Structure 1
């Protein structure tokens, strides 16, 4: 048995310890680089996405769908103009005189050759100019409004257009044979109803001309066309 000095044994133990520590360091620790070889995974890569294009908004997509289905671009409320309202039409100057624009009266009798002749006058009481043309309508009525006798007949004549400025008048002749001469049956009217040409509404004028023929021979009452003025 070989004797080894104590100091030698102590040195050998120290050398061994250092050797073991060196091996542990060579195997790596948590702070060292990973020395494992790279791992390869098989498969197909997904296609790359182009991020340079702007995303399409929901509104744009909806409008595109509406255009594709209808063939027309979507409408917009912006820029829409409400339809203009026209002013109501008013009576034009020079148009026909209406009943509400006139005043009626009966002038004084101008008898002659067994005839009674009364001018029936229509006066423009409005603020505008209007016209009359043709024959007025007329009817005698009693106090209860019942007509006395037939409607007057129209005498032959050539109608003319009479232009009436405010305050101006036109007249038509109301003529009948004197009942005392003709022997016709008579009545005394309470009023004469006068209807302007082409109108439906009438004007009521108190009658103060006495008896008028209502039936029998020579009982006809006649009217002439309207002329400018208030009488012959």
Structure 2
């Protein structure tokens, strides 16, 4: 009788335990379901919005750093502002005017047989000018007859003169040491290159007499001294 009572009690306790276990399982399941219903879907499953340039501080800094720094052109070029390029270097240099030149002649004969007269022209003007080419030369006798002189075989050199600078050219001839020469100039008529007016300078003292005629005298082109 006692054994039967104990077995019944044991089964009763076991039934209560099972019931409690089932209740606990039900509450866990419902808790998981509730949790599942209340859970928020992961943001990784949503499409991300496209990033806008400069929307972050780093993007903004990069945008400023990469912005062009050149200012708009005002339309004034270096040459147009009076630079030393095309505006000045490209200008044509005008011929030296006769009235702006100081002209002198001197004997430069290297020996007793070779006659050389050096003629210098100094730019007394206020601007740079060109003395490039051959001067027109006439030799005047004591009877005031002027004889034109031919050009020697030589190529002109570019000869530009700043204010105060000197150009030089020469007359060349053979000296007559016989004492019988009839070719004895007293003046030199000088017309600078590309000019139509002339100046007269004295035939230099010490220059030898000309052998032959005036056609034997040659004038050579100008060059810088």
- In the superposition, the TM-score normalised over structure 2's length comes to 0.52
Please report how far the alpha carbon of residue 153 of structure 1 lies from its aligned counterpart in structure 2 after TM superposition.
2.0
Please list, as runs of the form range in 1=range in 2, the aligned pairs for 1:211-230 lying within 5 A after superposition.
212-213=209-210, 215-216=212-213, 220-229=216-225
Please list, as runs of the form range in 1=range in 2, the aligned pairs for 1:118-197 lying within 5 A after superposition.
118-143=117-142, 145-147=144-146, 150-180=147-177, 185-197=181-193
Q: Who wins on radius of gyration, i.e. which is larger?
A: 1
Q: Judging by fraction of residues, say which structure has more helix.
A: 2
Please report how far the alpha carbon of residue 106 of structure 1 lies from its aligned counterpart in structure 2 after TM superposition.
0.6
Alpha-carbon distance between aligned partners in 2 of 1:110 and 1:214, rounded to the nearest angstrom: 14
Greater displacement, 113-122 / 96-105 = 113-122
Please report how far the alpha carbon of residue 211 of structure 1 lies from its aligned counterpart in structure 2 after TM superposition.
5.3
Distance 1:157 1:192, change over 3 A: same
Could you tell me which residue of structure 1 aligns to residue 101 of structure 2? 102
Q: Secondary structure at the match of 2:116?
A: strand
Q: Secondary structure at the match of 1:185?
A: coil
Q: Could you list the per-position Cα deviations for residues 23-55 of structure 1 after superposition, in whole angstroms to 9, with x for gaps in the alignment?
A: xxxxxxxxxxxxxxxxxxxxxxxxxxxxxxxxx
Q: What count of residue pairs does the alignment treat as equivalent?
A: 134
Q: Secondary structure at the match of 1:133?
A: coil
Alpha-carbon distance between aligned partners in 1 of 2:128 and 2:164, rounded to the nearest angstrom: 9
Stretches of structure 2 that go unaligned for 5 or more consecutive residues are: 1-90
Alpha-carbon distance between aligned partners in 1 of 2:92 and 2:215, rounded to the nearest angstrom: 41
Q: Could you list the per-position Cα deviations for residues 161-204 of structure 1 after superposition, in whole angstroms to 9, with x for gaps in the alignment?
A: 211011111111111101126x8732433211111011111011
Alpha-carbon distance between aligned partners in 1 of 2:163 and 2:143, rounded to the nearest angstrom: 33
Q: Secondary structure at the match of 1:100?
A: helix
- In the superposition, the TM-score normalised over structure 1's length comes to 0.51
Alpha-carbon distance between aligned partners in 2 of 1:168 and 1:185, rounded to the nearest angstrom: 37
Alpha-carbon distance between aligned partners in 1 of 2:131 and 2:117, rounded to the nearest angstrom: 19
Could you tell me which residue of structure 2 aligns to residue 63 of structure 1? none
Alpha-carbon distance between aligned partners in 1 of 2:182 and 2:204, rounded to the nearest angstrom: 15
Alpha-carbon distance between aligned partners in 2 of 1:94 and 1:101, rounded to the nearest angstrom: 15
Stretches of structure 1 that go unaligned for 5 or more consecutive residues are: 1-91
